[in-house]
Amino acid sequence: MKLVKFSLIIVCFLAISCSKKEENQTILSSPDSNIKVEFSLNLNGEPIYQVAYKNEEVIKTSTLGFDLKDAPSLKGNFEIISAVPSSFNETWEMPWGEQIEVVNNYNELKVELQEASELKRKLTIVFKVYNDGIGFRYEFPEQENLKEVFITDENTQFNLTGDHKVWWIPGDWDIYEHLYNTTKFSEIDAKSKAGHKNLAQTSIPENAVNTPVTMKTKSGLHLSFHEASLVDYSGMTLKVDTNNLSMTSELVGSDNTDYKVKRTVPFETPWRTIQISEKAGDLIASKLIVNLNEPNKLEDISWFKPTKYTGIWWEMHLGKSSWDMASGKHGATTENAKAFIDFSAKNNIGAVLVEGWNTGWEHWIGFEDREGVFDFVTPYSDYDLKEVVRYGKEKGVEIIMHHETSAATQTYEKQQDTAYALMQSLGIHAVKTGYVGKILPKGEYHHGQYMVNQYNNAVIKAAKYQVAINAHEPIKATGLRRTYPNTISREGLRGQEFNAWSSDGGNPPEHLPIVAFTRMLAGPIDYTPGIFDIKFDKWKKDNQVNTTIAQQLALYVVIYSPVQMAADLIENYEGNPALQFIKDVGVDWQQTKVLNGEIGDFVTIARKEKNSENWFIGGITDENEREMELAFDFLNADDVYEAIIYEDAEDADWDKNPTSLNIRKLEITNTSKELLKLAKGGGFAISLIKK
């Protein structure tokens, strides 16, 4: 990966970015001096920290440490051996992403601790303070009295300064596909969300929330808590204390062990992160999470190209076809795949996903023993894999492979080399993986250390075969796309498919205006937008997509992913003028600007296409209609653009008239302003093609 600017590493003077308040107390500031982190030891020798933004306390004094199996806790009786500050500033390039250049500028404090007791165990805590937030992690250095660590609890504390407004999903160990809740912190009741009938499984042992979890203080400050670089460790939920307004890290466990994490010293934990911003939109613009990950280890990723895709998927959720052959309406046939290839080739769409192509779907779910059901290389008799790939190449359309594991991890692990080698031999460079159901072996959870390693190891192995992974039922995104840029997208939220069959009314209009400021802060989302037949009464009378068609177009810009699906049936696109936006819209970007937004209400994002001068804008709203004046002052002063605006018509409404759309053309410069009206559950999409 090419660096645009050489990195700069400077040991800073204490007086500049790091100062001592008194003995054992050190204050570290962000490069712009707005954020300050104070670290010290309390009277019991416990590591403690505080965070402030522009002199406003953000995190009150909070403790750090661990409980260990068969060993004393590692959280007190420490002495500071050294506290070394430094600064770092580089600009690195994303091979694909929301922008090309990323500034990675922070001040660092590395604190080496040692117990005053006879054991004299060592622990290092590293803080990195950016202009947009902080990250800190624990490092277990090589030492005589600590060789192997069995963590039963990580006690990272976040003591809040008030009863903040919170957008949260429960700290489920097994699934992220819950609707977001908007409550005061004191009203969080995660355990009430267990056993949802539309979820494959839930496991919510504590009143905890999953991350990213986003908050707004009474003073208007926005905070988002998450983690970065989750490697060989359990996923972190945050256990909430609604009385004391505090959160403590609660690691995902296993029914098979009496510890949460097993590691050999030396090792580092994931980063614990807090993004801080005055404007909600600045949370989206933040690159804190990717910056806290290691640089690209793959170097050459040119074999993966961001793309739009269609596929044999939505029709299964509607009931038009099925994944298996036994039903008599198998979707993944050679004929159907070729039809999608033809449609994609005509409409500037680069790939086709084919689900249900391989044998085993008759017994993939609802059975205790699912190991050995799929082999990932044997197609059904009505699907000629090699012919479909050949036909796609003839038309300039790639095939996206599908590997549903049914959460039978040992079967998939054993067959990955064979499956990826088949893909490589056919020139297939992307696979959508799935892990539906309870994890096998029994007792493991989707978000525990065992599965974190399963997901990460699959990405590393796939890279050897030039295969990129779009994971569904995944572990959360934590910025590892920087280190392994073949981890291209993932689900990890309540997706579009819930609109097709869930009994609770689908995803409400507020869902995506929340997602943009919560789940999307973690990384790319394969949400599968572009449904034009909003009501789909032909297939389902009691379900629908709870947006207007204009919002479905806007999602191609608002919800970021380097792979974006045109998810609807071919027949619903044919002859619809709104298809032009999907044909035109980019999928890889030079730069991104968040033009406005409030969490759960609305958001507007503009993105400039890579390798062109064209811009695309998307705006969405919740269940409330609204007007907004859009200024185009982010455009170059001398440029003139032809704008095509796809907007809600006067009578549009997500429920009553969701497909009512107005399309208009006009000339736009950087002095232009446009008044846009968004219907309930609506939005707008704009293409700006430079003249």
What is the DSSP pairing of strand 165-168 with strand 181-184? antiparallel
**CA distance linking residue 13 with residue 103, whole number of Å:** 22
**CA distance linking residue 103 with residue 98, whole number of Å:** 13
Q: In sequence order, what are the beta bridge partners of 51?
A: 37, 59
- Residue 110 identity: K
Contact between residue 312 and residue 355 where contact means Cβ atoms under 8 Å apart: yes
- Residue 456 identity: N
**CA distance linking residue 459 with residue 64, whole number of Å:** 32
Give the residue numbers annotated as catalytic, written as ranges.
497
H or E element at residue 445:
none
* 514: three-class secondary structure by DSSP: helix
* 551: three-class secondary structure by DSSP: helix
Q: How far is CA 592 from CA 97, 141, 496, 650, 683, in A?
A: 10, 39, 24, 29, 18
Complete edge-to-edge strand list for the sheet that includes strand 35-41: 18-20, 25-29, 35-41, 47-53, 56-63, 157-160, 246-251, 236-241, 208-209
The Cβ-side half-sphere exposure at 67, using a 13 Å CA radius, reads 10
**CA distance linking residue 686 with residue 691, whole number of Å:** 15
H or E element at residue 526:
none
- CA 388 centroid distance within chain: 31
Complete edge-to-edge strand list for the sheet that includes strand 66-68: 66-68, 148-154, 261-264
**CA distance linking residue 619 with residue 442, whole number of Å:** 44
- CB neighbourhood size of 293 (10 A): 20
Residues 6+ apart with CB under 8 A from 356: 312, 316, 321, 322, 323, 324, 330, 331, 332, 380, 402
Place of tokens 């920290």: 49
What is the DSSP pairing of strand 267-268 with strand 133-140? antiparallel
Nearest alpha-carbon partner for 476 in 227, 275, 271: 227
Nearest alpha-carbon partner for 401 in 531, 563, 175, 522: 563
Q: Where are the beta strands (DSSP E) in 94-143?
A: 101-115, 122-130, 133-140
Contact between residue 498 and residue 253 where contact means Cβ atoms under 8 Å apart: no
